[in-house]
Structure 1
């Protein structure tokens, strides 16, 4: 397992941290306040192939293996204070770009992957519906087979990147009798095949735009099918495994940054002529967070190792996601408590990050879903 970084991995990590700090952070307060996504920043990330980290070079990606991709995503989380942008990149790469690489036709890979990797296009994953919630395969979106393709009807909601999406991967029911067991199919659809509903306003991750995707008797050709008909459940389940590990890496990078920042603060902040880091009520909190961050890194590293070596990793991914998301939410709140009023005011990294962390236990499968998945392995 990759935990102690080698020289090349350190160079990779430092490259992405330096890029993020110099190119992505200016103006984040204004973007967050106005819920604004900067396409120019997305293109800058594409110049570094952040949206195609593990995609083979022949398709326009950076060609990293899965373990090195995780190192790169952790570095992005550490260096980029625009947590919404990091999240958008993660959702695009892990739930859209990689699935096309793994399951798409040669036509789909050749046509779409270069634009998805270099920042020219933005992709959205569309599976969640208003009424289905965590039971995502109880969907009402239907893809009816025709002679030359399919007709799609239905609506997806809570789709990250949807308001700006040039392409979406949508999962629809192609055989209601089979249901989740062979009745769900994935489609790779350009924006001419779908309508985007209103932008959804959120309390956190405000620079990662979210919306709905609607299909009203949308006729799509056979060439839009991703893989085989009925393969959608496997495709989506795999994409969630990748997303759980990848987003966990981003979050642990963010949390490490928050810890480093608050350590600087508590060493400078003095009460009764003594740095407050020497107060056990403060120091012990930080020691606990540091220990849990290191434990989280091991969970992420194990899951990444299993995926890289084609070993079943669903449970490891769920454990990493459960542990990291709960830690991210709770530890960021504890760090805010240490800052006190100076952290609670708007336009601080910690205030934004606390808001951004709240949803981490919901997306990519709630904490309750992760516990159910882990329980099945016992």
Structure 2
């Protein structure tokens, strides 16, 4: 594995950083109000963020996976809006990637260019109130009727649900087939019988979250993705991509945190000397640097493995676990290093901490990642 970057890749990284830095205006106010900016989304689409890792035939730029991951890391370094950052990563890895793998050619030609251009936003609807980590225990059903299906049920904790035009919805088409009876549907969020319900949350507030309630919502058969019963395969592959790369931009955010913390520790003086001279502060900075470098190596390794068709479910879980826990701890360290300044909303340091909490929940909680790792090691502990 060679993680050195060529001039073209480094030029792209710098270009992405410079663009991402233009997206930070009025962020404190947008965060307070929980406002999603369609204008910012469109700017990202026009720049090319949403088409990095898609074939040119569908409107993409066809970058290799390592380069795309580097670009998303750079985006997280430049853009302070972690809600927008998360939403874009969700769209790239949890919507466009499974669409590319499982959708029909006709569906790809119809929707992927619209995703790339920013014309359409799609969300992923798996979780339910009683089916979070145990997502395959979902209760939402899709009953076969003439020309399509009737969806009934409720999906919860769905990013972008209040603003997206479409949703990839997992539902049971065969109640007797357990997890093998799950199918996947592309649903229009303004369809009769589909009701998005916004919900408030702690962090990543510019990425609106909500529920989707289905009451005899008709979905044409042409909007089924793949054959009936393929849902578990889509879910498994989607979660692998999600765990591997959904936090790629947070590695960039950690690099920005570190730089800001080092700068502050050098310039903030107490008792006649920089606070960075005190071991309690310098140790936190050393820990932040160590977490960052390990996170980078795990992220790049996983991208290299995926690029070379080397499936490694354990490494995906390890990558997600380390980056999420590291971002949370480094965000707390950044607040403590900055003291009272870190606690004030106007400087954006505390916002990273609020945003980081969600990272240890989505794509499977940290506890679930540990269970996956232990199970794959053959040492799962049972109560």
TM-score by length of 1: 0.97
Q: 1:362 to 1:319 in 2, by over 3 A?
A: same
Deviation string, structure 1 residues 141-166 (Cα, Å, up to 9, x no partner): 00112342211111101000110111
Aligned counterparts of 2:26 and 2:61: Cα–Cα separation in 1: 28
Structure 1 Cα separation of the partners of residues 317 and 135 of structure 2: 17
Equivalent position of 1:99 in the other structure: 98
- 1:188 matched residue in structure 2: 186
* Counterpart position of 1:217: 216
Q: Which residue of 2 aligns with 1:46?
A: 45
Unaligned stretches of 5+ residues in structure 2: 378-383
Q: Which string of whole-angstrom CA distances, capped at 9 and with x for unpartnered residues, describes residues 237-281 of structure 1?
A: 211211222222111111111111111111111123321112111
Alpha carbons of 1:51 and 1:124: their partners in 2 closer, same or farther (altered >3 Å)? same
Offset at 1:10?
A: 0.7
Does the residue aligned with 1:168 lie in a helix, a strand or coil?
Answer: strand
Alignment correspondent of 1:14: 14
Instruction: Give the Cα–Cα distance (whole angstroms) in 2 for the partners of residues 262 and 248 of structure 1.
Output: 21
Distance of 1:219 and 1:196 partners within structure 2: 13
Contact 1:73 1:246 in 2 (8 A): no
> Who is 1:255 aligned against?
254
Cα distance in 2 between the residues matched to 1:46 and 1:374: 36
CA shift, 1:87, in A, is 0.7
What is the TM-score when the length of structure 2 is the normalising length?
A: 0.95
Contact residue 86 and residue 247 of structure 2 kept, 8 A: no
Alpha-carbon distance, 1:213 to partner: 1.1
Structure 1's unaligned 5+ residue stretches are none
CA distance, structure 1, for counterparts of residue 106 and residue 197 of structure 2? 31
> In structure 2, how many angstroms separate the alpha carbons of the residues matched to 1:231 and 1:177?
15
Deviations 1:197-230 (A, max 9, x none): 3211011000000011121111212111111211
Q: Deviations over 1:17-51 (max 9, x none)?
A: 00001x21111111101100110110000012212
SS of the aligned residue for 1:178 comes to helix
3-state SS, counterpart of residue 135 of structure 2: coil
Measure how far apart 1:133 and its partner are. 2.1
> Is the CA contact (8 Å cut-off) linking 2:23 and 2:79 kept in structure 1?
yes
Contact 1:163 1:210 in 2 (8 A): yes
Asked if 1 retains the 8 angstrom alpha-carbon contact of 2:295 and 2:322, the reply is yes
Q: How does 1:1-378 map to 2 (within 5 A)?
A: 1-21=1-21, 23-180=22-179, 182-193=180-191, 195-378=194-377
Q: Is the 8 A contact 1:174 1:229 kept in 2?
A: yes
> Once the 2 structures are TM-superposed, how far is the Cα of residue 2 of structure 1 from its aligned partner?
5.0
Q: Call closer, same or farther: CA 1:167–1:197 in 2, change over 3 Å.
A: closer
Distance in 1 between residues matched to 2:30 and 2:190, nearest whole Å: 28
**CA drift at 1:338:** 0.9
Supply the distance in 2 between the matched residues of 1:119 and 1:311 (Cα, whole angstroms): 31
